[in-house]
Amino acid sequence: MDNGAAVAVRDLRRSYRDVVAVDGIHLDIASGEVFALLGPNGAGKTTTVEILEGFRRRDGGTVAVLGHDPARASRAWRARIGIVLQLASKGPELTVLEMVRHFAQFYPRPRAPEEAIDLVGLTAKARSRVGKLSGGQVRRLDVALGIVGQPELLFLDEPTTGFDPEARRQFWELIRRLRGDGTTILLTTHYLDEAEALADRIAVIAAGRIVASGEPGSLGGRATAAARVSWQARDAGPTTVQTATPTRLVAELAREFGGEIPGLTVTRPTLEDIYLELIAEVGHDGER
């Protein structure tokens, strides 16, 4: 069923009493790609990821992660995945290096702890106690714990929460490096610019269903959506027109103005525009 994919899901279902959290999801993630799963709180995103990680049971459907069913996976399988959890705050009396060394012992072929620390930009804090770190530094340590085992598949749930803009961009470079090394990455994030910058493909989940999937530039028909052309018209003032042929319209305006078009802007829907349209069509019921 997995067809060589890192993750293959068919008709995945999970309910909590009368609340349907996951409603027949189909999902494929290719080996070596960065895949972003987007959705509002309560959409079923966390439940889906926890089932893939083997932390939550499912009511129906089939799931293969690295060729195995997570519900029956072995310790050897768990050593092949990495999960970024909020764990660092549990060891405030340890130093950063002690914490990473401790977790490295859980894996058969770990990355050198110093390398994991350097990858997340914490080398200068290696001897600092966890309890003395800032919130963003603690989150970086969580990421170091997730990658120290050199996972084939890495689950990243809101990994840059609490990062300042510079730290986020540094983290993005880490993700690109891991992808270049062949690591498959499943990313959940509320930062749409992060998904667009990092993901090979995106799926949007709402009300327990996948409502759209594809490459960031074409998700939800984005690549072929009408463009908005705005300019300062001679008589009418600020003018905006939606058109499927923006090049033709701009050429016509250039002839009309005899050259430069005052106030000209041409924009297509952003990923955020498409995302908001998709979830608005379905709606959601709050946290699940």
- The reported pLDDT for the residue numbered 87 is 67
Residues near 257 by beta carbon (within 8 Å), at least 6 away in sequence: none
Opening angle at CA 189, ends 212 and 198, nearest 5: 80
Residues near 114 by beta carbon (within 8 Å), at least 6 away in sequence: 97, 123, 126
Q: Give me the helix-helix angle, 96-104 and 135-147, nearest 10°.
A: 20
Mean pLDDT of 208-216: 94
Residues near 91 by beta carbon (within 8 Å), at least 6 away in sequence: 98, 99, 102, 130
The answer to whether the beta carbons of residues 208 and 21 sit under 8 Å apart is yes
pLDDT confidence band for 88 (50 / 70 / 90): low
- How far apart are alpha carbons 42 and 156 in whole angstroms? 18
Strand, coil or helix: 86: coil
Beta bridge partners of 214: 202
Higher pLDDT, 47 or 236: 47
Q: Which CATH number among 3.40.50.1820, 3.40.50.300, 3.30.70.20, 3.40.50.150 corresponds to the domain 1-80+152-216+270-288? A: 3.40.50.300
- The reported pLDDT for the residue numbered 287 is 39
Q: Does 215 score more than 70 pLDDT?
A: yes
- The reported pLDDT for the residue numbered 86 is 65
- How far apart are alpha carbons 12 and 58 in whole angstroms? 7
Q: Which of 78-82, 92-96, 194-198 has the lowest mean pLDDT?
A: 92-96
- The reported pLDDT for the residue numbered 253 is 94
Q: Does 135 score more than 90 pLDDT?
A: no
Mean pLDDT of 144-160: 92
pTM given for the model:
0.84
Tokens 């946290």 -> residue: 287
DSSP state of 129: B
Opening angle at CA 146, ends 142 and 149, nearest 5: 140
Chain segment 226-258, per-residue pLDDT in tens: 899 999 998 888 999 999 899 999 999 999 999
- The reported pLDDT for the residue numbered 121 is 87
- How far apart are alpha carbons 83 and 160 in whole angstroms? 14
Describe the chain by its helix, strand, coil percentages, rounded to 5.
Answer: 35, 25, 35
Q: Give me the helix-helix angle, 135-147 and 165-180, nearest 10°.
A: 10
Chain segment 187-210, per-residue pLDDT in tens: 999 899 999 999 999 999 999 999
Phi, psi of 48 (to 5 degrees): -60, -50
pLDDT confidence band for 285 (50 / 70 / 90): very low
